[in-house]
Amino acid sequence: MRKLPITAKGEVTLGKDLMNHLGVSPGGKLVVSKLSDGRIELKAVPPAGDISDVFGCLKRKGARSLSLEDINEFAARGWAGKQ
């Protein structure tokens, strides 16, 4: 068990090992539950996103956009083992 100092603002720094254990990174969110015996419980909030967040993730600068036909052709060649 490790003791964590509390700042004048009431803030506690968890440290990298605890953040890794919870699966959170800076900017992430935690849910805090108050338990009846005076303890608290911390749980990581899974990152939420919108489907539109993936739009453009495969876009390459200077490359033309692929048509649906191009994508289907590449997929068919990949399934056939022809790359």
Cβ–Cβ < 8 Å for 48, 31: no
Stronger pLDDT, 61 or 20, i.e. the higher one = 20
Domains of the chain (ranges, CATH numbers): 1-47 (2.10.260)
Q: Can you give the pLDDT at residue 74?
A: 86
Q: Can you give the pLDDT at residue 50?
A: 79
Distance from C-alpha of 5 to C-alpha of 39, rounded to nearest angstrom: 16
Q: What confidence tens digit (pLDDT) does each residue in 11-55 have?
A: 999 999 999 999 999 889 999 999 999 999 999 998 777 777 777
Q: What are phi and psi of 71, to 5 degrees?
A: -65, -45
Q: Which among 17, 43, 48 is positioned nearest to 32, based on CA atoms? A: 43
pTM of the model: 0.53
Q: Can you give the pLDDT at residue 55?
A: 78
Cβ–Cβ < 8 Å for 34, 40: yes
